[in-house]
Structure 1
């Protein structure tokens, strides 16, 4: 399962692409359309899979205007997977060096480390929530939040909704939850396919940076993860994502280029809201958005 087809998920430079190989990054929030192909499937509806858009904090270079956001995102990610102490977390230590080199304020650094632990700088716990909406072109959205002020974040969401004619709407039934695992290491692709399938995984693919991304049922995340570790791979990330149901996709030929550009701008505006962690959609564009 690669991040869903009009799904937004992590990395590299093009905001939208129809490539069958999703890209991942860690230095910024980014939106990428994924239309990965499945190597194996138990469902007849899994063609053109992962039709969702996922917005996430990525792992790659970003333009100058978003450098601070990118640096903070990398600190958040490093803190989340390795802990808040840079002495015992080399990845965080490296992120802090880059942040200081680029003059990221100490307050931003402290906030990013805390956020990676699910906390505010005062130690209060951040709240997770998912908002449902119907956006431009009739695409359904799920918006994952991680915020210290849910009410305030919802107000900001609705301001963006109003600008683009989006509305609150029940859309969760259009999506399924999936586990997503990211591994580091080298392994033969056939062995990877066999081990993933035997352990109950849904799909996998190798990213351009050499990492392996694997999708599973939520309940199978540990089983699949343990099986792939036996291949000598190291688990780098683990999270739950949303996959748009294939039979609930907005028809590809019903979303024109103009609407696609509107959707891209809409998603970018959502991504600029503090507290928005990820955005998922159930649309695939007939033409790539460049």
Structure 2
């Protein structure tokens, strides 16, 4: 595949999460809690909960933490209510940014998200200003070397599994699916012995923005500041991360 690897954007986020397990566990617990409150505590019938549990396990969240959160959400917990919000805006250089928030205080979250944009050369926009640039997709990444098969062989496997698209970069295979097909495709590939560097339902940018070095540095600061916020669940952007952006 010519051009960038979509996995680089995911790697940046996962690297940040790995450096702060306590913070990511807090966010995962909130997602599990909200999923239970929205559709019950049975993951076989609650797709959102099933995906939240899978995401928690991928992050090595202990089973006791997961079970405790589900039980807490299933009980008569008074005074705990999370509101789901999405903020949209532009980062430095005009890159599109979407921020998914799960909060018990929307005024606090709005102020903190706005501050992150303003402090790092971006600006918060109106709902819908950038969401049309993204498409919700299932996204699975395989290490090219560990996959142990050619791109053509894998193409047949992912088509048979029901995936929409396969792309390849130097080190990875990137599999895209419809959101509703994500779990079945993942299971089908796992049954064939494949393991994943990453597997999630996410918002995929349809176009990418290349930024000048100064804007790229501020964009990374904006992403990091947003992801450091306990209320922020996900940050999506169309900034094309390159290796040189990590150089000191």
Normalized against structure 1, the TM-score is what? Answer: 0.56
Question: For the structure 1 residues 51 and 57, does the alpha-carbon distance in structure 2 shift closer, same or farther, using more than 3 Å as the test?
Answer: closer
1:107-129 residue CA offsets vs partner (Å, 9 max, x unmatched): xx79x963999899947453333
- The answer to whether structure 1 residue 161 and structure 2 residue 123 are counterparts is no
Aligned to 2:149: 189
Question: For the structure 1 residues 281 and 162, does the alpha-carbon distance in structure 2 shift closer, same or farther, using more than 3 Å as the test?
Answer: same
1:245-267 residue CA offsets vs partner (Å, 9 max, x unmatched): 13xx32x3xx2211111111111
**8 Å contact kept, 1:142–1:171:** yes
Question: For the structure 1 residues 165 and 261, does the alpha-carbon distance in structure 2 shift closer, same or farther, using more than 3 Å as the test?
Answer: closer
Aligned to 2:188: 227
Question: For the structure 1 residues 120 and 156, does the alpha-carbon distance in structure 2 shift closer, same or farther, using more than 3 Å as the test?
Answer: farther
Structure 1 runs of 4+ off > 6 angstroms? 73-79, 115-121, 234-237
- Within the candidate set 241, 253, 270, 2:226 is matched to 270
Aligned mates of 1:83, 1:289 — CA distance in 2: 27
Q: Choose between structure 1 and 2: higher helix proportion.
A: 2
Aligned to 1:138: 94
- Within the candidate set 229, 233, 245, 1:289 is matched to 245
- SS of 2:235 mapped into structure 1: strand
- SS of 1:48 mapped into structure 2: coil
Q: CA deviation at 1:138?
A: 0.9
Normalized against structure 2, the TM-score is what? Answer: 0.63
Number of residue pairs matched by the alignment: 216
In structure 1, runs of 5+ residues without a counterpart are: 1-36, 39-46, 97-108
Q: CA deviation at 1:160?
A: 1.7
Question: For the structure 1 residues 189 and 277, does the alpha-carbon distance in structure 2 shift closer, same or farther, using more than 3 Å as the test?
Answer: farther
In structure 2, runs of 5+ residues without a counterpart are: 33-48
After TM superposition, the structure 1 = structure 2 runs for residues 53-202 of structure 1, keeping only pairs within 5 Å, are 53=9, 56=13, 62=19, 66=20, 68-69=22-23, 72=26, 80-81=52-53, 92-93=61-62, 114=69, 122=77, 124-169=80-125, 170-181=129-140, 188-190=148-150, 191-198=153-160, 199-202=162-165
Q: What is the RMSD computed on CA atoms of the aligned residues?
A: 4.7
Aligned mates of 1:256, 1:83 — CA distance in 2: 34
